Amino acid sequence: RDVSGEGVQQALLKLVEGSRVTLNVKENRSSRSTPPITTNYNSGGSSPSSSQSSPPQGKVDQYTIDTSNILFIMCGAFVGLRSIVERRVSKPSMGFGSDLRGRQNLSGDKHDLPKHL
């Protein structure tokens, strides 16, 4: 399975935004490992639902959870984000702290345009 795709992002976004999620917990009596959990999203659209091709082993319990009042704490690595934010925030573009430019600087010189445009 590809866990880096758009489907995973959409599924996580549904959980974080607050929705009703149905969890199917299958009891596996043959091993002592954690029972597999599959999810079904009750909201409309093309929400992902995971299913297994093997027949269910043991009892299946269904739980519906409303995620609108659950606090999700996430972390990640955003390489280079700090420098991008610092460049954007460090120069005031309007107000008392901004640099004053005369009309000669606003002549439409192509070197004045940001390089990322």
Domain encompassing residue 19: 6-69
The string of pLDDT tens digits covering residues 49-77 is 444 445 556 688 999 999 999 998 888 88
Query: Would you state the pLDDT for residue 49?
Result: 45
- Looking at the 3D structure of the chain, how many domains does it have? 1
Query: Would you state the pLDDT for residue 41?
Result: 58
- Biggest CA–CA distance in the chain, Å, is 80
Query: Would you state the pLDDT for residue 90?
Result: 81
Domain presence at residue 97: no
Cα 6–Cα 9–Cα 14 angle in degrees, nearest 5: 125
Mean per-residue pLDDT over the chain, rounded: 71
Domain presence at residue 103: no
Q: With 80 as the cut, is the pLDDT of residue 22 above it?
A: yes
| 37 — pLDDT class (breaks 50, 70, 90) | low
Rounded to an integer, what distance in angstroms lies between the CA atom of residue 58 and that of residue 76? 37
Residue 62 CA neighbour count, 13 Å, CB half: 7
Domain presence at residue 27: yes
Domain presence at residue 46: yes
